[in-house]
Chains A and B, each alone.
Chain A
Amino acid sequence: MNTPLPPRVRHHKLAAGLLLLSVFMFGFGFAMVPLYNALCRLTGLNGCGVESVAAAYAGEVDYTRTVPVQFAATTGSRRPFEFRPEVGSLRVYPGELYAANYNAADRSSTRIRAQAVVSYAPASAAHCVHKTECFCFMQENFAPGEVRHLPVKFYLDPSLPRDVQVVTVAYTYYKVSGNGIPAERSD
């Protein structure tokens, strides 16, 4: 082919720059993960970043008000897995340590490893729920048919905003898959 072409323009530099931009944006997609987590930690959104074990509270207990704390429980899979709180709600003094128990029972015929994930509502209260002990800190193994009592010890920070009328603590139990651990083992 010998089409009379104008003097050749070099496109390589521009094309390479644009290609680099697309590679950068591919990376940016992944960079949104730590960015999002940092933002959640900053705002307490979705209970992110407030999942550590809290030290026992040593400050003043605020006896001037009580706040209702509701407990919710759901399961993240269709397994025959029962999971519910022993008490639906408690009225608590901010600053005082309380214990709440959940019960879980696996009604299937196989072993399961499961992990509970907590979330709080409203988001503005998320920073103020401190747990000194919680079953959600670790994975639990359930033998077929096993029933477990799952303890939570928590207190509300007295800095809880006064406009928060009720705090909801919701746990979802998930079957653990991934991380190389088989989801269900029949040993």
Chain B
Amino acid sequence: MNTVAVVHEYHAGHPSGLWRWITTTNHKDIGTLYLCFSLLMFFVGGAFAMLIRAELWTPGMQLMDPEFFNEMTALHGLVMIFGAIMPAFVGLANWMIPMMVGAPDMALPRMNNWSFWILPFAFILLLSTLFMPGGAAGAGWTMYPPLFLQSGVAMPFQVFAIHLMGISSVMGGINIIATILNLRAPGMSLMKMPMFVWSWLITAYLLIAVMPVLAGAVTMMLMDKYFGTSFFNAAGGGDPVLYQHVFWFFGHPEVYIMILPAFGIISEIIPTFSRKPLFGYTSMVFAIASIAFLSFIVWAHHMFTVGMPLAADLFFMFTTMLIAVPTGVKVFNWVATMWRGALSFETPMLFAVAFVFLFTIGGFSGVMLALVPADWQYHQTYFVVAHFHYVLVTGSAFAIMGAVYYWLPKWTGHMYNETLAKWHFWLSVISVNVLYFPMHFLGLAGMPRRIPDYPVQFTDLNQIVSVGGFVFGASQLLFVACIILCVRGGKKAEARAWDGAHGLEWTLPSPAPYHSFAEPPAPNLIWTHPYQGS
């Protein structure tokens, strides 16, 4: 096979050490920064979760006062969503999209540097609220008024941190769209793009459309508190329920921002290890697009209990249930891709198969929650916690872990330790179910979310959940060990690290050279899906 153009290792005068990382405009460096940052935040948010599970080990108050418990649930959510999952996906986009579309770098490399380096400051600002008088804001990641308005000095700092995260995401989104639309190699039409690229193109549009709405919502809250407006203040004629509408207009597309790139990853991994092309490529593209469209008209299913008119309840119930259709298309297509494939179960495939199983469980509990009369029982209970952890942990986080194992050989030039990685997988997949599955039962039995104490009859299930939580948390240290060992050495990886893999990134040597596709790849290198025609 034709090897790829000119390979530069390093330039003369290229800065080294810390300065290199601060000033870098290279998409691979920035991708690495994003991924390392998100791993760090995964452990910070994980530590908060461990404190939550420790407090819930037995009824009564053990380790912390209730205010601190609320701060933990709020920060756990914010850190995991904006600090771990989203930056991990942006990091994967940075690393992989230019290589997958045959571009030399991201379209706007300097802005790329800026979008990353805003993030550490945003999170220093957010986490510093823990040490402020009165502590961090304990109003949940959703920051509902009036509770959020009653937080002390932490509130404006948290709002500014959210602004910074929003600016970072919007810049990242603009960059990704510009890269995909403007820098594709000649011959790569939109319908020849890898699914990961497709999923990110649509996700980036969602980011640009909804992150500013969140910024607007928290800005209005800031104005209510400090400038005497009454957007959400009932005393001044405002309405706290309005905040929920604005927030979830952002919030529901946001949950798809956190799952669509995962769909893309799974659509890369499963065909590779099934040694078959992705089943129904075109329907996969349209499924992602229709999920993205529907995400804008279903937001109020998060607030069925606020007392909306029946017509609104019905509208949001039916549109929500409609989402199960394109999602079902995707799940069936993945299964059909595996059907009669020459399957092998390396770690990325294990994570992908676990994703298909466990994400679907989360999808089903989502359909249950979409039913208005049933939701009135489930609302604000652990059933909801179980639902969104199934889609976010065994969904998004598992897809990210699968992606890391899948592309680590390309990044480092070494194969990871398969035995250790399988230990990581099996410990994770067992403990994560011990952790989240009993939460369904707790929720159905009536245990509310976001409380530090509970009646004694919930003790046994809570202890099972906590054990699952501690084991899952500890298992992630194996993940770090796998990554560090793989960076430092291991079996040499070939250019095409997986024999079933297709796509431009696998035509580059492993590790991928610092500058790749300085000249566009030859059109015959672009892999054409057999069902697509050429």
Chain A interface residues (CB < 8 Å from chain B): 1, 3-6, 9, 11, 14-15, 18-19, 21-23, 25-30, 32-33, 36, 40, 43, 45-46, 48, 76, 115, 117, 121, 123-124, 172, 174-180
Assuming the contacts A1-B11, A32-B249, asked whether A26 and B215 have C-beta atoms less than 8 A apart, the reply is: yes
Complex partner residue of B108 from A1, A15, A23, CB under 8 angstroms: A15
Assuming the contacts A21-B209, A123-B307, asked whether A177 and B235 have C-beta atoms less than 8 A apart, the reply is: yes
A43 surroundings in chain B (CB, below 8 A): 309
CB distance from A75 to the nearest CB of B (A): 11
Find out whether the CB atom of B234 lies under 8 angstroms from the CB atom of A76. Answer: yes
Q: Is B236 positioned at the interface, with any CB of A under 8 Å from its CB?
A: yes
Interface residue stretch chosen among B76-84, B429-437, B513-521? B513-521
Q: Is B173 positioned at the interface, with any CB of A under 8 Å from its CB?
A: yes
A15 surroundings in chain B (CB, below 8 A): 107-108, 174, 178
Complex partner residue of A11 from B178, B236, B515, CB under 8 angstroms: B178
The docked-state distance in angstroms from the alpha carbon of A1 to that of B109 is: 14
Within 8 A of A (CB), among B210-244: 210-217, 219-220, 224, 228-231, 233-237, 239, 241-242
Assuming the contacts A1-B11, A6-B520, asked whether A19 and B174 have C-beta atoms less than 8 A apart, the reply is: yes
Q: What's the interface size class on B, roughly?
A: 35 or more
Q: Which residue of B lies closest to A30 (CB)?
A: B216
CB distance from A22 to the nearest CB of B (A): 5
Find out whether the CB atom of B235 lies under 8 angstroms from the CB atom of A25. Answer: no
CB distance from B171 to the nearest CB of A (A): 9
Find out whether the CB atom of A76 lies under 8 angstroms from the CB atom of B212. Answer: no
B107 surroundings in chain A (CB, below 8 A): 9, 11, 15
The docked-state distance in angstroms from the alpha carbon of A73 to that of B454 is: 30
Nearest first, the 8 A-B pairs at minimum CB distance are A29-B216, A174-B235, A26-B212, A178-B228, A25-B212, A29-B213, A18-B174, A11-B178
Q: Can you report 6 A-B residue pairs in the complex whose CB atoms are below 8 A from each other? A: A6-B520, A9-B182, A11-B107, A29-B250, A36-B242, A40-B239
B308 surroundings in chain A (CB, below 8 A): 45
Find out whether the CB atom of B235 lies under 8 angstroms from the CB atom of A115. Answer: yes
Q: Is B478 positioned at the interface, with any CB of A under 8 Å from its CB?
A: no
Chain B interface residues (CB < 8 Å from chain A): 6, 8, 11, 13-14, 104, 107-108, 170, 173-174, 177-178, 181-183, 208-217, 219-220, 224, 228-231, 233-237, 239, 241-242, 245-246, 249-250, 307-309, 515, 518-520
Find out whether the CB atom of A176 lies under 8 angstroms from the CB atom of B239. Answer: no
Find out whether the CB atom of B208 lies under 8 angstroms from the CB atom of A22. Answer: yes
Find out whether the CB atom of B246 lies under 8 angstroms from the CB atom of A25. Answer: no
B211 surroundings in chain A (CB, below 8 A): 22, 25
CB distance from B448 to the nearest CB of A (A): 21
Find out whether the CB atom of A26 lies under 8 angstroms from the CB atom of B245. Answer: no
Q: Which residue of A lies closest to B224 (CB)?
A: A178
B229 surroundings in chain A (CB, below 8 A): 178
B6 surroundings in chain A (CB, below 8 A): 4
Find out whether the CB atom of A3 lies under 8 angstroms from the CB atom of B235. Answer: no
A18 surroundings in chain B (CB, below 8 A): 173-174, 177-178, 208
The docked-state distance in angstroms from the alpha carbon of A164 to that of B234 is: 26
Assuming the contacts A32-B242, A32-B246, asked whether A6 and B104 have C-beta atoms less than 8 A apart, the reply is: yes
Q: Which residue of B lies closest to A114 (CB)?
A: B235
Complex partner residue of B210 from A25, A27, A121, CB under 8 angstroms: A25
B170 surroundings in chain A (CB, below 8 A): 19, 22
Assuming the contacts A3-B518, A177-B235, asked whether A33 and B242 have C-beta atoms less than 8 A apart, the reply is: yes
Given contacts A1-B14, A3-B8, A46-B241, 5 further A-B contacts (CB under 8 A): A3-B104, A29-B212, A30-B220, A45-B309, A180-B228
Q: Which residue of A lies closest to B230 (CB)?
A: A178
A177 surroundings in chain B (CB, below 8 A): 228, 233, 235
Assuming the contacts A11-B178, A32-B245, asked whether A178 and B173 have C-beta atoms less than 8 A apart, the reply is: no
Q: Which residue of B lies closest to A19 (CB)?
A: B174
Find out whether the CB atom of B212 lies under 8 angstroms from the CB atom of A11. Answer: no
| Residue among A3, A11, A48 facing the most chain B CB atoms (10 A cut-off) | A11
The docked-state distance in angstroms from the alpha carbon of A3 to that of B519 is: 10
Complex partner residue of A175 from B177, B209, B230, B235, CB under 8 angstroms: B235
Complex partner residue of B236 from A9, A27, A123, A179, CB under 8 angstroms: A179
B228 surroundings in chain A (CB, below 8 A): 177-180
Find out whether the CB atom of B216 lies under 8 angstroms from the CB atom of A36. Answer: no
The docked-state distance in angstroms from the alpha carbon of A1 to that of B309 is: 62
A4 surroundings in chain B (CB, below 8 A): 6, 518-519
Find out whether the CB atom of B236 lies under 8 angstroms from the CB atom of A29. Answer: no
Assuming the contacts A9-B183, A25-B208, asked whether A46 and B239 have C-beta atoms less than 8 A apart, the reply is: yes
Q: Which residue of B lies closest to A16 (CB)?
A: B174
Q: Which residue of A lies closest to B107 (CB)?
A: A11
Assuming the contacts A25-B213, A26-B212, A28-B213, asked whether A36 and B233 have C-beta atoms less than 8 A apart, the reply is: no
The docked-state distance in angstroms from the alpha carbon of A22 to that of B204 is: 11
A176 surroundings in chain B (CB, below 8 A): 235-236
CB distance from B205 to the nearest CB of A (A): 8
B104 surroundings in chain A (CB, below 8 A): 3, 5-6
